[in-house]
Structure 1
Amino acid sequence: MGWFLIVAAMAIIPFMVGFAGWYDNQPYRDILFFVPFVHSLFIGPLLYFYTKSISNYNFRIRGRAYLHLLPGLVYLIVNIALSLIDVFIYKRYNLTNEYNDPDFSDWYTILSMLSVLIYLFLSIRYYNSYKKYTRIATSFADAASLQWLRNFLYAFSLLSIMPIIRTILSNFSFFERMRYFGPWYYYLGFAIVVYYIAISAYHAIYLPIYKLEFNPDLLQGFPEQDSAAENEAGNLGPEIKKTDIAQEKMITLRNGLLEVMEAELLFERADLTLSEVAKKLGTNSVLLSRVVNQHFKLNFNDYINQYRVEAVIKRIAMPEFKNQTLLAIAFDSGFNSKATFNRSFKKITGKNPKEFLNRDLSSRL
């Protein structure tokens, strides 16, 4: 994220200092023409790597991953070489065009736009797979889903096609007369989305990111299940039958899961993950996920939230909790936000917490 913000800040420098008159005065004009500020070929790969790193704490850029940065490095090296030759050998503009800033050449702009769009597509596809994984492998799926990252990726996608829109608008005399001031709306939008992801990324440190270890290959092992209806329809049946796991072992794991949840109140941990429970039961995440799907007709996130909702219902009727607010009881029961609590409560009981409390009070009277 740090490198992305640096590249984003550099990309906007020519516009800002150009507005201050640098393109019309020396030696500032030479600085803008000889120094490569815009490195758009790095933006796409950096966003893609960031999407991977924030969803997988163990992700590192290694080996062939560096090839994604190769186009940007080639542009940077070639640009620096051409500038140095002109400055120290020719001592004038020769390989560098005196009238066109290389950072804004048509070929470079088009190539950069295509690069960003391709990597945004890859990032969005990766994010959608990751979001499925959070419901299967975490008990804090709402927080782990990183919706702000999804919003940023879509906003940046829209922003990335703005040069095309600008090209179309340039055919109209009003926008053509704006000339230098024409791109202002693009840079305004660019600044807004960059500020958005910078602030959101800072707030992400409050998540237990160190527990996120998503790899798309993991989804091939987990049964896909988003609702009880899909299980009842038998969508998972054929896949489960293919395994060599004896039904007795599945039942043993189910009983072990019930016992550990009741005895140790694991659901009270807001950052509980499937892998932690699997390790406690001496099994693996994939098998435990199958047990939860087959025997409880739920994914892991909904299974844990069901325990939390039941705990809240029990506790609001207990004298020792009468001085606590409903939200405090919800947090003590393992929920990490009011929105998640309300959504889960309504999903499991069919009523929102307020309706449930009013009905409970009415029945007592």
Structure 2
Amino acid sequence: MNIVRYILFAQVFVAFFVAGGVFFKSRQLRSLTLSLLIAFVGCHILLFLFGSGELVNLHPEFKSWFYYEIAFLFGPLVFIHLQCLILNKKRLRAIDALHLLPILVFWLGYGDVLLMEGNIRSEYINAHFLTRTMFWNYLLAFQMMIYAISSSVFLYLNRTVLSAKRFQYAVFLVVAYVCSSILISYLTHFADGWRDFAWYYVLLTFLIFGVGYFLVKNPEFLLQIKKKYFASNLSEKDMLRIQSKIQKAFKKDQMFLDGSFNISDLSKQLNEKQHHVSQTFSELISENFNDYVNKHRIEIAKQLLHDPKYGNYKIEAIALESGFNNKVTFYKAFTKFVEQTPSAFRKSKK
């Protein structure tokens, strides 16, 4: 166990080093959430080493301080980081304050213990661990599992939005958090003591190493948003001009009927830089490229489903004619925008 503790202590410095590197690389919300997540992992490991060692007996006044509060922030930071990654979230909103609700509940229910004098608090926690403290361990495990499930579902639903490299990064981040959540839930119920949680923190170090390795191999990753958007000199007038060109291209050329059509093809057709077109979609049109394309494809599909000439066409054939590559994607998009299946829509118009 001593070897594990030495390894964990070394990881505290690694965590702070990586967190600092991420923070100074870029000050946007995406990098700030990642930097805080890694820094808090380091802090949590340090709190574990303090609480499970002899040092806590010398300074009991710090026992249990910030342990739960920091742990309650892991899930929100992972989820908000995913929002930045997938939805290009740039700033926090008032509704994001709801992520702090578990911390508020914790302080309302356990604040009287935390405000006790050091020695008294230490003795009280030891004497009432099962009746007062264990509940908050279960609540923490439950909260982590909720965020693990939410993050997994959110990533799955938006998997087509990300590039292959971003998707790999997001999957790694979510899998690391899910595994940590499962392990903390298991240990909360079955561990014989706090020292058994060392393996949970060992697992957390893989998150630090994994993110650090990814950033070393892809140094441009965190600067991607800054390079694409914040360093762009694209004005609102330019975006309006590009939007007009997009609307004309979709109405006249209907390039979206090609199943392999992508934003790179559109940018070449418009003779505009791809990141300018992408910025126009996200900031002015307020819709991602895939949804914009699929919405136009669905309008064509609706026309074909009404057209008697296509009455003998199967749904899959209508999908191909509309620019979709397969029936499954077509059904999903059609249901999303029309709130009916293609078959039901066709029958309702007969």
Flag whether TM exceeds 0.5 (same fold).
Answer: no
Work out which of the two has the higher radius of gyration on C-alpha atoms and give 1 or 2.
1
TM range (shorter): 0.3 to 0.5
- TM-score norm. by structure 1 comes to 0.39
RCO comparison, higher one (Cα < 8 Å, 6+): 1
